[in-house]
Amino acid sequence: MDLTGARWRTSSKSGGNGGNCVEVADNLPGVILVRDTKDRDGGTLTFTPGAWRAFVGLAATPR
């Protein structure tokens, strides 16, 4: 998969955490990409938009 057009972003809530966060690219058609900010050349997780929405929805649900 060609990732050269991916526009990576971090959460606005991740400031000041020493780089312990992930980056998300959601501008490519049909795919959401996630990578570790400390190892940008490492592996990239790939999600379908539906799977990503489900994950974010569950992660944001108070327990």
Mean pLDDT of successive 10-residue segments in the chain (63 residues)? 89 68 93 92 94 92 80
pLDDT value, residue 63: 75
pLDDT at 38: 87
pLDDT at 19: 67
Q: What is the pLDDT of residue 20?
A: 74
Residue 62's alpha-carbon distances to 32, 55, 58, in angstroms, are 24, 13, 9
Angstrom distance (rounded) from CA 41 to CA 49: 23
Cα distance between residue 26 and residue 7, in whole Å: 7
* Closest of 5, 7, 3 to residue 46, by C-alpha: 3
Report d(CA 62, CA 15) in Å as an integer.
22
Residues found in the chain = 63
pLDDT of residue 2: 82
